[in-house]
């Protein structure tokens, strides 16, 4: 029911004193009756507040009341005139300041008449919506049974509600692109909002436009692996039947996803067998045959990617995420390797590294404690997959050593000491770090000093006392004292190249 429909009821004789922009076409929310001076704590947004003005003792009270109502998102105040004979001017001015619609109820109309009229209208609307919902559900299911694609159904819903619909994943892959794919900046904003929203559906602001975000399937699932329906506009301003139509389409899209996932699950054993043959160094002809059976396109150059999601119970999530990103770059095969890391063979392209960084990077807001590390080899063919796999493993070790939630490292980034450290086993690097910097780390732990941080900045500044002091906002003498203390604890002379290299590598191994 719309607010404008209330004015069409002759028996209520409501009088509109002030209308905020667009309020008459908004659906009516809950009707709340109150005479509290500050009722905001009892409101959640979108309500019509019915009041007899008993709370008003002075003109200043009108500002307090309206500010409390507007602060919680209520849209309209319906005021009775029995208390003062007319609505006070100070209440009207406060409503104008806060953009809250103000409606007057004449003395001879009881509040009960207003609430009963709204309740009856809402009951009739609910019955009509339920009937329309059943019809839509039957039509959607019939369309699925007759072979209609999800894209066609999305186009039908878009036309019905007047808002463009798209289905995407949390990495930004378009399952249903709608009239056109969203640009990267919009995808970044939409996925960030979806992954961080306290509850769904949510509304995202991107490039000056609003998008409503609905989870496809259960909203209680892992959002990292979820599909989401992105609809142009703010759903909080839509009539209930449009919102219900969107939810119904989400249910149909969830069924479509199950069908697609089952197809990939059926292929997964073939993919695992093919990648196991690559890791074991099997005959090239047999490797090629298995990969073709798994869906790889061997006539195109490939890269090997190795990925790891470091989080308890994340194995299934990691596979789903890697498969999703792989689907966005073309035909690919993904499966766990013998060491538990995920291995993927992806079609090569000049844009691939940036695409992987952007797609995996969109997951960062949803990884508050987990770490995702991805290593990517250079371009290769089926005859050199084993070497490319080792190259990707090296790059993965470098990515794993990074300090960001998501790190994607390509083989051309791995050079000098980075490559050296990536090839050294973790336990060896830990032992080396402890032997070189153990006393310094212990000193910092016991005294809450900043020796390690000062040492890192000192080496980054090529041993310059003044630049280090400036970067850390310290006096030069303080920097000298700390570096001398490091030299005492480590037994190293940082003016000597050999000792400086030892300490540098120990820092990089932390």
Q: Give the chain's domain count.
A: 4
Asked if the structure places residue 137 within a domain, the reply is: no
Which of the residues in the chain have pLDDT under 70? 1-3, 23-28, 121-148, 219-220, 311-315, 402-403, 414-426
Q: Residue 236 in contact with residue 210, Cβ under 8 Å?
A: no
Q: Residue 417 in contact with residue 507, Cβ under 8 Å?
A: no
Asked if the structure places residue 383 within a domain, the reply is: yes
Claim to verify: residue 343 and residue 457 sit in the same structural domain? no
Claim to verify: residue 405 and residue 332 sit in the same structural domain? yes
Distance CA 142, CA 152 (A): 13
**pLDDT digits over 91-150, tens only?**
999 999 999 989 898 888 888 888 887 777 666 555 445 445 445 555 555 555 555 678
Q: Check which CATH number belongs to the domain holding 245 and give it.
A: 3.30.450.40
* Residue at a domain's end among 423, 441, 463: 423
Asked if the structure places residue 72 within a domain, the reply is: yes
Q: Check which CATH number belongs to the domain holding 30 and give it.
A: 3.40.1390.20
Claim to verify: residue 375 and residue 386 sit in the same structural domain? yes
Distance CA 277, CA 286 (A): 8
pLDDT score of 425: 65
Claim to verify: residue 200 and residue 107 sit in the same structural domain? no
* Residue at a domain's end among 230, 257, 284: 257
464 burial class (0-12, 13-18, 19+ CB within 10 angstroms)? middle
Claim to verify: residue 155 and residue 224 sit in the same structural domain? yes
**Which of 351, 348, 346 is CA-nearest to residue 331?**
346
pTM of the model: 0.58
Asked if the structure places residue 136 within a domain, the reply is: no
pLDDT score of 144: 58
Asked if the structure places residue 393 within a domain, the reply is: yes
Q: Check which CATH number belongs to the domain holding 473 and give it.
A: 1.10.10.2840
Asked if the structure places residue 54 within a domain, the reply is: yes
Claim to verify: residue 389 and residue 435 sit in the same structural domain? no
Distance CA 95, CA 89 (A): 10
Distance CA 92, CA 229 (A): 41
Q: Check which CATH number belongs to the domain holding 334 and give it.
A: 3.30.70.270
- Name the H helices within 86-110: 89-98
* Residue at a domain's end among 363, 389, 423: 423
Claim to verify: residue 103 and residue 220 sit in the same structural domain? no
Structure token pair of residue 287 = 């490797």
pLDDT score of 398: 79
Residue 482's contacts (CB-CB under 8 Å, 6 or more residues apart) are: 449, 450, 451, 454, 455
Distance CA 259, CA 149 (A): 12
Asked if the structure places residue 125 within a domain, the reply is: no
Claim to verify: residue 59 and residue 113 sit in the same structural domain? yes
Claim to verify: residue 19 and residue 91 sit in the same structural domain? yes
What is the extent of the structural domain holding 457? 426-508
Claim to verify: residue 111 and residue 151 sit in the same structural domain? no
């Amino acid at each position: 029911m719309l607010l404008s429909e209330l004015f069409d009821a002759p028996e209520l004789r409501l009088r509109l004193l002030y209308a905020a922009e667009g309020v008459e076409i908004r659906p009516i929310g809950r009707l709340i009756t109150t005479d509290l001076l500050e009722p905001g704590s009892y409101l959640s947004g979108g309500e019509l507040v019915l009041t007899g003005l008993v709370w008003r003792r002075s003109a200043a009270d009108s500002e307090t009341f309206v500010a409390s109502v507007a602060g919680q998102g209520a849209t309209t105040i319906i005021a009775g005139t029995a208390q003062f004979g007319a609505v006070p001017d100070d209440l009207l001015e406060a409503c104008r300041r806060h953009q809250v619609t103000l409606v007057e109820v004449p003395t001879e109309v009881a509040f009960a008449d207003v609430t009963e009229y709204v309740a009856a209208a809402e009951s009739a609307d609910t019955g009509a919506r339920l009937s329309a919902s059943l019809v839509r559900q039957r039509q959607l299911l019939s369309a699925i049974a007759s072979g209609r694609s999800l894209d066609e159904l999305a186009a039908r819903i878009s036309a019905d509600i007047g808002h463009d619909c798209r289905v995407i994943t949390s990495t930004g892959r378009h399952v249903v692109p709608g009239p056109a794919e969203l640009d990267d900046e919009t995808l970044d904003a939409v996925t960030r909002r979806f992954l961080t929203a306290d509850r769904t559906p949510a509304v995202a602001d991107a490039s000056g436009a609003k998008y409503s975000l609905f989870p496809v399937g259960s909203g209680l699932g892992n959002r990292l692996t979820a599909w989401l329906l992105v609809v142009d506009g703010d759903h909080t301003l839509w009539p209930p039947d449009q919102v219900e139509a969107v939810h119904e389409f989400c249910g149909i899209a969830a069924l479509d996803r199950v069908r697609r996932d089952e197809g990939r699950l059926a292929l997964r054993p073939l993919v695992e067998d093919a990648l196991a043959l690559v890791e074991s160094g099997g005959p090239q002809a047999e490797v090629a045959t298995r990969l073709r059976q798994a869906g790889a396109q061997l006539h195109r150059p490939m890269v090997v990617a190795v990925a790891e999601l470091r989080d308890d119970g994340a194995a299934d999530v990691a596979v789903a995420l890697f498969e999703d990103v792989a689907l966005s770059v073309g035909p690919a095969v993904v499966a766990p390797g013998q060491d538990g890391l995920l291995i993927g063979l992806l079609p090569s392209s000049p844009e691939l590294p940036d695409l992987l960084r952007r797609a995996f990077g969109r997951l960062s807001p949803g990884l508050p404690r987990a770490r995702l590390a991805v290593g990517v080899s250079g371009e290769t063919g089926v005859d050199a997959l084993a070497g490319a796999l080792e190259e990707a493993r090296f790059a993965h070790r470098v990515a794993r050593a990074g300090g960001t939630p998501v790190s994607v490292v390509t083989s051309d980034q791995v050079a000098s000491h980075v490559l050296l450290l990536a090839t050294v086993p973790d336990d060896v690097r830990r032992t080396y770090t402890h032997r070189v910097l153990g006393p310094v780390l212990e000193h910092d732990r016991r005294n809450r000093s900043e020796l390690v941080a000062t040492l890192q900045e000192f080496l980054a500044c090529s041993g310059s006392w003044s630049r280090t002091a400036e970067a850390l906002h310290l006096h030069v003498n303080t920097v000298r004292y700390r570096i001398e203390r490091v030299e005492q604890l480590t037994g190293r002379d940082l003016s000597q190249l050999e000792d400086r290299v030892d300490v540098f590598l120990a820092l990089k191994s932390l």
